[in-house]
Chains A and B, each alone.
Chain A
Amino acid sequence: MAAAGGGGGGGGGATTSGCGLKRRYAPHDQEEETMNQDQSSKEDWCGRLWNGMDLLKDVTENKHVLPTGLEGIDTLLGGGLRQGQLTEVTGPSSSGKTQVCLHSASHAAVKHMGVVMYLDTSNSFSPSRIATIIDGTNDLSDQRRFDLPHKERLKTMMRSIVCKSVFDIFGMFEVLHQLEVSLLNDKVKSGGRKICLLIVDSISSLLAPIIGGKYPQGRSMMISVAMILKKLAYKHNLSILVTNHMVSAGNGAVKPALGESWKAVPHVRLVISREHGSNICTATVLKHTLLVFPLAI
């Protein structure tokens, strides 16, 4: 994007501007550097070559794991949502995907790990449910719980969860670009903490109207969104959690939506399902880049 200038900007600029302007970036470096002195370290980080030891050091020091707060899912994920990776949770309707997202958001807020950004496409973000999870009780109307220090604590925790509703794919692009720009300028401060978790619930309801049929741009938009999300995760050390639907695969079976091209995008894929009428959900790992699973929990 524009603010990154220099070497990093050359690659990013190529997608947005025509080739006519590209040759302007190199001679302009000196002037922009005086503006973006603090950006030089970031440009080094983006532009240089890494060796194996640097990568290992980066992984052990910087790439932490964000637990979701649900034990079974944390075990399957090898600790939780890994920073720098895209995790996908898929499942049939009302199997608990939104609950997984709400639990991860609440857990990150309770442990003060940072700001959580929740992009909601189906009006399923429920602040009362978040308050219930943070409280750890089932009775929000219990008057004892509204004494002042408890309320202040709840308030600071809930203030670190930020929610935005998006209803079409272009709105999603806009939100992600705004996020990129504000992260690049280090202006992300909501109470002095940086963003650590980005949840998109659900990405397939935005992509379903445009994928398939005679409209070939649908699939390319899906891949662009995927690339932007992965770039955000890598550059800014975020964990990203995405929800997906199931569609029918013929003969009554179901498969995750968004097709074959999407299968390569997330680093970790989980399927959850719930038996009709019960409250117990089962999770299965479809794909995991770091761990080997012989069976599902």
Chain B
Amino acid sequence: MAHETPGDDFAYDLRFQVVKVMNQLVMVIRLCQGAQNAWDMLSDEQSQKHTTTGSGDLNDLLGGGIHCKEVTEIGGVPGVGKTQLGIQLAINVQIPVEYGGLGGKAVYIDTEGSFMVERVYQIAEGCIRDILEHFPHSHEKSSSGQKQLQPEHFLVDIYYFRICSYTEQIAVINYLEKFLGEHKDVRIVVIDSVTFHFRQDFEDLALRTRVLSGLSLKLMKIAKTYNLAVVLLNQVTTKFTEGSFQLTLALGDSWSHSCANRVILYWNGNERYACLDKSPSLPVASAPYAVTGKGIRDDLHTNLREVDATEQATIVFLYLNMWHIIHSQINTVIREKQLQGGQLPIGMDNS
């Protein structure tokens, strides 16, 4: 074989070496680097803990709570409790492992400025009180655990970023990877809300779609690599479909494909309900919840009514009303008698 120049010779030999090395490498790589089979993933998933939302019904809806390694989108009309839920999750992820939580830290990215620190303190206190109620004995055993259960410690473990424009939002999400590499105990990233800066000031909608899909891919990669939950809060908008206006989540159809799980919060009469709209493993369902002084909790009034359907409710209602009617009738009779100046029968005075 005649080679023309020494350079060709070198490149030729190099190629030959590469082929040999590749053949040997392939014997080491099984199918593909980093691939896992489904059985191993199932065992990993079953040993994962979930972040509780504070409300038992909501936890059942979500299959135990917010899952790690997944992106969950929570959307709703203003005032239904999205920020409250976000803050509750940022607190609940810090519940220590001995009390059934994840014992991790939280990253809270605030785009609207709705993160009220006094409210966070209140929710942290409520959470601690509930833990102490649930676990009265183990609290006495571990004195170090007792020291950790202070609201101040909960606040210290929330990393807060305030974002004022969409470029800052893109920058923070790009920076998150480096940040999470340094702080490996973060277990949840809450972004409140992901739509705010993209709804105004964006003339080019195609560019917005591209930027948002890039953002969601990065967030999914972060969730998977660092084993944490990502929660995105979203706003609603009206959409004209099929001849009527309907409420849908903002940012359009393309964004709706970006999240694996979607929960929609809505009002039903006087109560707040959560509906699981999209999930790869759970069925579509709804559950009620309430926003209390201590944070997100179960909606107790709904539970009572649901127990015996409407019958018990109407009976109780009638009973209460009847007592009220009788009582007021007795009062009118007493007043009439008093006005007439007559004698009251025994037992009909106000005792």
Q: Residues of A at under 8 Å CB distance from B?
A: 2-3, 5, 17, 20-21, 24, 27-28, 32, 35, 92-94, 98-99, 102, 105, 109, 115, 117, 121-132, 154-155, 158-165, 167-168, 175, 178-179, 181-182, 185, 187-188, 190, 195, 202, 204-206, 208-213, 245-248, 252, 254, 257, 277, 279
Contact = CB atoms under 8 A, between A and B. Distances in A.
A187 B252 CA distance: 44
Contact of A21 (B12, B31, B221, B259): B12
Contacts of A127: 38-39, 41-42, 45
By Cβ-Cβ distance, the 4 closest A-B pairs, closest first, are A127-B42, A94-B278, A209-B214, A93-B256
Contact of A158 (B42, B216, B217, B278): B42
Contacts, number: 185
A189 B180 CA distance: 36
Given A94-B278, A131-B42, A179-B31, A163 B36 contact: yes
A208 B45 contact: no
18 contacts: A5-B19, A24-B12, A35-B23, A105-B38, A109-B38, A122-B220, A123-B224, A128-B281, A163-B38, A165-B221, A165-B224, A178-B33, A205-B258, A208-B213, A209-B214, A213-B207, A245-B254, A248-B253
Interface string B150-170: 000000000000000000000
Give the interface residue-count category, chain B. 35 or more
B317 interface: no
Nearest to A204: B257
B139 interface: no
Interface string B283-308: 11000000000000000000000000
A127 B33 CA distance: 19
Interface of B: 1, 8, 11-12, 15-16, 18-20, 22-23, 26-27, 29-39, 41-42, 45-46, 69-71, 206-207, 209-211, 213-214, 216-218, 220-221, 223-224, 240-241, 252-254, 256-260, 262, 277-278, 280-281, 283-284
Looking at chain A's contact residues, the main secondary structure is mixed
A162 B22 contact: no
Contact of A205 (B18, B19, B217, B223): B217
Given A92-B253, A182-B30, A182-B32, 19 more contacts: A2-B22, A92-B256, A99-B280, A117-B35, A121-B220, A122-B258, A129-B281, A131-B42, A158-B37, A159-B39, A162-B31, A163-B38, A167-B224, A185-B27, A206-B217, A208-B254, A209-B213, A213-B207, A257-B254
